[in-house]
Amino acid sequence: MPQSIKKSAEERMEKAIQALKRDLATLRAGRATPSLLDRIQVEYYGAPTPVNQLANINTPDSRTLLIQPWDKSSLADIERAIMKSDLGLTPANDGTSIRLVIPALTEERRLELVKTTKKFGEEAKVAIRNIRRDANDDIKKLEKTDISEDESRRHQEDIQKTTDKFIAEVDKVLAAKEKEIMEV
């Protein structure tokens, strides 16, 4: 039983790392990538819909995103959603597609992105710590019925080691993204 609790906690911590990587992929680091638009929801026939479900997104060059909607009537909605987003990009609508030109990052914008990166990292660390707390609570419940106090302490130490490993992984992912952002 304690093994399944530890395994479950580890799987949930791994999912927290994956969520962090997904969130960091939506931050622009001076290069155009379709994942920049992953968080943008378009109001399409009354339902919020991800851009990638409404259009084909290409990168004709390293600084440009080309969005070609399948339904031309959604062009204005996509443009409006991009304008409202926190990307800080101005879409260029040519009637059939939208071009997003990714400008070179200024030093000030790079520092803002690093702060945002750290915010995502802190949220991931909090999620991992919450998972640790839940697993420790489950172990303590077992202590009352199935396992000894020593076993409980040993399992909690194992959970702490796993937590430390995943916190270090968060730091490693953040350092890589910061390096990418600060690259000129």
Domain ranges of the chain: 2-28+106-183, 34-101
Q: Whole-model pTM? A: 0.71
User: What angle separates helix 107-145 from helix 149-182, to the nearest 10 degrees?
Assistant: 170
pLDDT tens-digit readout, 74-132: 888 888 888 888 777 788 888 888 888 887 777 887 888 888 899 999 999 999 999 99
Euclidean distance between CA atoms 79 and 99, whole angstroms? 10
Euclidean distance between CA atoms 159 and 80, whole angstroms? 46
The phi-psi region of residue 46 (left if phi > 0; otherwise alpha if psi is between -120 and 50; otherwise beta) is: left
Q: Which fold is adopted by the domain 2-28+106-183? A: Topoisomerase I; Chain A, domain 4 (1.10.132)
Say yes or no: domain 34-101 is CATH 3.30.1360.40. yes
